[in-house]
Amino acid sequence: MFAFEFMRHAFAATGIVAILSGLVGYFMVLRGESFAGHALSHVGFAGATGALLVGMPPFWGLTGATVLAGVAMGLGGRGTMQGRDVAIGLVLSCMLGCGLLFLHFLTTSATRATALLFGNVLGVDRSMLGWLLVPGVACVLAMAALSRPLLFASLQPETAEARGVPLRAVSTLFLAIVAVVTAECVQITGVLLVFALMVGPAATAQRLTASPGWGIGLSVVLAVGAGWGGLALSWWTDCPTSFWISALSTAGYLAARAWSGAGGRAV
Amino acid sequence: MSGDASPAPPPVSMAHVTLRVGDRAILSDVSLTVPAGAFVGVLGPNGAGKSSLMRAILGVAPVSGGRIAVFGRRVGRGNQDIGYLPQFPARSAPRLNGRSVIAAALHGERWGLPCDWRPGRHRRHDAAEIDRVLELVGATHLARRPIDHLSGGERQRLLLAQALLGRPRLLLLDEPLASLDPHRAREVVALVDAIRRQLGIAVLFSTHDINPLLGVMDRVLYVGRGAARLGMVDEVVTGPVLSALYGMPVEVIRANGRIFVLADGVVQS
């Protein structure tokens, strides 16, 4: 399957996005913000379709909308997104509705819509790889600087605040990173299935590990495994990649639950 | 602060302090000094402002009037002289082990990678600091277990260890007994007292139940109805004062050097 250039691109793109998703997803799950990430992808859907409507590249509209929404969430929150599921859910459905409206005005493309909603990793070209790689590296560097106060603030917000961690700034910066990663993830899994790469592997890793270092490592490995596994399975079975990625991610989580529920020991 | 004749500045001094939460004044024009090495029980009805007072000392909640100084310096966030155990310390506990949670708090306010991911010398230095605080509270054996497998008392022990990171000279413990049975509560109080004596640090320990602290605390700070008063135990732990403080009839009985507080006719000892 590596004989084809589109498959090589697909593997590279999935690898980049899976590494980011595993890393950032770990903190999303730890902070109880996985639903917020899901909402961001829907905002991105409205952004992407809106960009198409005015003739801009959809990836720009997607990234711009998610980052704006992420920053707004961070600044509007109290340093955490926990317990705000109603507000997030409403924004999520409203944005999906807006995206639908924009699509309605766009006469072109049911395929565009399907690609945005469910991903189109086989359509990634060389220039798109660059668009994934550059923001991806920036996100990894930002996470390297942010991870320590973020971990502290995620586990014990009150103590962290007393020790001088700027909770709102840390939360906003993190949500901006989540927004960029979400926009990248949409390229692979689509708006509706970002959970599969961003939340599934991270949640599985947290079931199986007892320290953040091991947890993040395992989360990244599992995300890459689900991404590449999904690509390979879709090659052999001719089913959609996003289906296999979400299936692997969910199967992994259920297996980890069963194993840790049966008295498995965490590393 | 000014006018304090002692050579070393006291752990906490408050001069004409007014604290507001929303538009409610929880303290107005309060002046007091917590002496070095004191074990101060912070008492008062729920909602009287015990937590707000601690947050003000930490510099997290703004002071609307007057001045609070900690070891002679105006309060401000990130004061390394203070170890803090908040009332609701941790998020719904993940499966992380205790050591990871403590490690996340060590210099957690700095930018960069978490301290236990750094290589070489730094890592050994940080590991030694974590070992030190775990040993102080006798929790070395607990630190390897996931935090959600620990009992309430064991978790408090770990969080107390975390509060001791960086060698603070003042401990602020906000309702550390809230979810503990009386036996565990006594254990935590005894542990805090032993650490206070060993390290020579001052402790502010808030609780809504005075009994576990009797015989251990040497001063009482009571907060209620906009006022705060710091006094010796014998001055404050009396029937009339406690009755006024809790707003119900309270009797205090002293026998064989022990104190019993009877609230509503029920002995609590």
Summarize pLDDT for B93-123 with one digit per residue, the tens: 568 888 998 999 998 888 988 876 777 777 8
Question: Which of B118, B138, B158 marks a domain boundary?
Answer: B158
Asked whether residue A255 is domain-assigned, the answer is no
Edge to edge, the sheet with strand B250-255 lists: B250-255, B258-263, B266-268
pTM over 0.80: yes
Residue B113 near chain A (CB below 8 Å): yes
Asked whether residue A204 is domain-assigned, the answer is no
Asked whether residue A245 is domain-assigned, the answer is no
pLDDT at B269 over 50: no
CA distances (Å), A66 to each of A62, A109, A179, B23, in order?
6, 22, 5, 37
Average pLDDT estimate for A175-183: 92
Number of domains observed in the structure of chain A:
1
Chain A environment of B105 (Cβ under 8 Å): 152, 155-156, 159-160, 163
Same domain flag for B102 and B32: no
Domain housing B68: 1-81+168-236
CB contact under 8 A, A149 and B89: no
Task: Map residue B177 onto helix, strand or coil.
Answer: coil
CATH number at residue A26: 1.10.3470.10
Q: What is the pLDDT of residue B6?
A: 54
Same domain flag for B18 and B150: no
Same domain flag for B77 and B189: yes
Min distance B249 CA to chain A CA atoms (Å) = 36
Asked whether residue A142 is domain-assigned, the answer is yes
Average pLDDT estimate for B63-68: 91
Most confident of A93-97, A185-189, B53-57: B53-57
ipTM: 0.87
Asked whether residue A231 is domain-assigned, the answer is no
Classify the C-alpha dihedral B79-B81-B85-B90 as positive or negative: positive
Asked whether residue B247 is domain-assigned, the answer is no
Q: What is the phi-psi region of residue B88: left when phi exceeds 0, alpha when psi lies from -120 to 50, beta otherwise?
A: beta
Find all residues with CB under 8 Å of A52, minimum gap 6, and list them: A58, A61, A102, A106, A108, A109, A112
Asked whether residue B180 is domain-assigned, the answer is yes
Number of domains observed in the structure of chain B:
2
Which 3-state string (H, E, C) describes chain A?
CCCCHHHHHHHHHHHHHHHHHHHHHHHHHHCCCHHHHHHHHHHHHHHHHHHHHCCCCHHHHHHHHHHHHHHHHHHHCCCCCCCCHHHHHHHHHHHHHHHHHHHHHCCCCHHHHHHHHHCCHHHCCHHHHHHHHHHHHHHHHHHHHHHHHHHHHHHCHHHHHHCCCCHHHHHHHHHHHHHHHHHHHHHHHCHHHHHHHHCHHHHHHHHHCCCHHHHHHHHHHHHHHHHHHHHHHHHHHCCCHHHHHHHHHHHHHHHHHHHHHCCCCCC
pLDDT of A1-54, one tens digit each? Answer: 788 888 999 999 999 999 999 999 999 999 888 888 888 888 988 999 899 888
Task: Give the number of other CB atoms < 10 A from CB of residue A223.
Answer: 35
Asked whether residue B257 is domain-assigned, the answer is no
CB contact under 8 A, B108 and A161: no
pLDDT at B2 over 50: no
Q: What is the pLDDT of residue A103?
A: 84
Min distance A207 CA to chain B CA atoms (Å) = 7
Asked whether residue B213 is domain-assigned, the answer is yes
Residues from A in contact with B at Cβ < 8 Å: 30, 32, 82, 144-149, 151-165, 206-207, 209-213, 215, 260, 266
Same domain flag for B73 and B179: yes
